Amino acid sequence: MRMTDGLCGAESVCCRRSQIIAPEPSTTSTTTTPATVSSSISSTKLEPVDSLVFDSDPILPALPETIPFQPISPNESVHDPNLLLELSNLLLSHSLVDTFEPIVSNALPIDQPATTNDSGQNVIFTPTPSTSNEKHCGRRQHSVGSRIFFQDEDSDSLSQVLAGTVGFSEFPWTVAIYQLIRNGSFVYHCGGAILNRSVVITAAHCVSNNRLHPNRFVVYAGDWDRRHTQERLPHQERTVSRVLVHPNYYSGALFNDLALLFFNEPFNDTLTNVEPVCLAGETGMAYPPPDNCFVTGWGGSPKANRVQSIQQYSKLRILEREQCETQLQSLPTLGSKFRLHQSFLCAAAIGTDVCQGSGGSPYACERDGRYYLMGIVSWGVGCGDGIPAVLTNVTDLSEWIRSQ
């Protein structure tokens, strides 16, 4: 089920807090030796933090003949929708057939952008006509619905989570960039997005220091859980052959924070977990800022400000430039003289944010059933403090991108 679907159908899971049974405390503990999972390129794969063990014939604990139903008061219930979503996605990734369908549109009527934003200002957003190389771009994938919503009463609206775990292959353009460190291993460094079979876009600050040594970067496409390689569709690893940083990139203030990564061996985009994102044009009709926009990657969140093992999403809304600049000027670290550079745009939402490890992650917005790359996570102040995230304005720099 799509994340923004408002009804619970045959392909969704809906729970009421009063229907959640509290687990009884266990007095016994079991120690399991973590399984070693092999990788096609062992030198570039992180060691599992929490190895998963899949028993073909598990020993089930003895259960009582009857289990009493003990409803929990709504005021006392504590649940974590993200944990349930992660478990649901994990089961789906191991049990379903390799069948995906692109989401035509996942915007509810309330998510459709209004005619103008809060300040009455429109922004430029031009979907570029599809070419033969881009006919499959920006397709958000979905399998059997794995979103879990909570509804206390029949009359209540469904609670939609603005951030959480991505479904397997849901945003197939999202990639993880690993960097070689001194001990000879590769570690997660930044996020990025697939533009076509041979090019990935990311933030310049992620790769500029090693632009002359591109083979120090390895890109993983189609990955979901970085701890293992047991997803039903394999991820693809490519060593970078060339790093191209925007010529006007200024590391001191991160102006034009954009870079392109090239590969000698193209990605295999016949698999549904590896597909490009659409690139918005630079000129054309003026559209209001789209509201159905997501940052996707393995960066942290206000709940866990650290790099994540499983791909995450955060739904953020584009802010009007003057509003963002005013908020940033109120920060002591920036001051009243701060000016937001033209190569930046801002996005924010109440209850979610982009945090540690989110650099280079794509920010894509839905328009007519396709997702267009609007920004790349560049920098921010704090995590979950209500301060807008600052993104590289991909639309403003799209002419340079296309010229490469």
Specify if 394 maps to a domain: yes
Q: How far apart are CA 349 and CA 314, in angstroms?
A: 9
Q: How far apart are CA 325 and CA 342, in angstroms?
A: 11
Report the candidate in 303, 317, 320 with the shortest Cα–Cα distance to residue 350.
317
Strand locations in 16-140 (E): 101-102, 123-126
Specify if 133 maps to a domain: no
Q: How much is the pLDDT for 124?
A: 44
Regarding whether 189 and 285 lie in a shared domain, the answer is: no
Report the candidate in 145, 179, 136, 205 with the shortest Cα–Cα distance to residue 379.
205
Query: Amino acid letter at 47?
Result: E
Specify if 329 maps to a domain: yes
Strand, coil or helix: 253:
coil
Regarding whether 348 and 301 lie in a shared domain, the answer is: yes
Regarding whether 290 and 250 lie in a shared domain, the answer is: no
Regarding whether 313 and 230 lie in a shared domain, the answer is: no
Last residue of a domain, one of 233, 263, 293: 263
Helix H segments across 160-283?
204-207
Q: How much is the pLDDT for 326?
A: 95
* pTM score, whole prediction: 0.68
Strands 148-150 and 13-15: parallel
Regarding whether 383 and 340 lie in a shared domain, the answer is: yes
Regarding whether 238 and 182 lie in a shared domain, the answer is: yes
Q: How far apart are CA 81 and CA 151, in angstroms?
A: 12
Would you write out the chain's pLDDT as a tens digit for each of its 404 residues? 444 444 444 444 555 555 555 555 544 444 444 444 344 444 444 444 443 333 334 444 554 555 555 554 544 445 555 555 555 555 555 444 444 445 444 433 333 343 344 444 444 444 444 444 446 899 998 643 445 544 555 555 555 678 889 999 899 999 999 999 999 999 999 999 999 999 999 999 999 999 999 999 999 999 999 998 888 899 999 999 999 999 999 999 999 999 999 999 999 989 899 999 999 764 433 455 567 899 999 999 888 888 999 999 999 999 999 999 999 999 999 999 999 999 999 999 888 889 999 999 999 999 888 999 999 999 999 898 889 999 999 999 999 999 98
Specify if 113 maps to a domain: no
Strand locations in 288-338 (E): 293-297, 312-315, 317-319
Regarding whether 394 and 282 lie in a shared domain, the answer is: yes
Regarding whether 331 and 357 lie in a shared domain, the answer is: yes
Domain count, the chain: 2
Last residue of a domain, one of 239, 263, 287: 263
Regarding whether 395 and 367 lie in a shared domain, the answer is: yes
Q: How far apart are CA 136 and CA 130, in angstroms?
A: 9
Q: CA torsion, points 230, 82, 222, 306, in degrees to nearest 10?
A: -100
* Domain that includes residue 376, residue range: 278-403
Contacts of 239 (CB under 8 A, 6+ apart): 214, 215, 217, 218, 263
Q: How far apart are CA 373 and CA 371, in angstroms?
A: 7
Q: What is the CA radius of gyration of the chain?
A: 22
Q: How much is the pLDDT for 61?
A: 52
Regarding whether 257 and 187 lie in a shared domain, the answer is: yes
Contacts of 44 (CB under 8 A, 6+ apart): 178, 185, 186, 218, 237
Strand, coil or helix: 21:
coil
Regarding whether 283 and 212 lie in a shared domain, the answer is: no
Specify if 336 maps to a domain: yes
Regarding whether 326 and 248 lie in a shared domain, the answer is: no
- Residue 132 has which token pair? 């033969």
Read off φ and ψ for residue 50, nearest 5 degrees.
Answer: -125, 95
Kindly report the length of the chain: 404
Report the candidate in 351, 346, 329, 335 with the shortest Cα–Cα distance to residue 380.
346
Specify if 15 maps to a domain: no
Q: What is the CATH number of the domain that holds 203?
A: 2.40.10.10
Specify if 348 maps to a domain: yes
Last residue of a domain, one of 263, 288, 323: 263
Specify if 59 maps to a domain: no
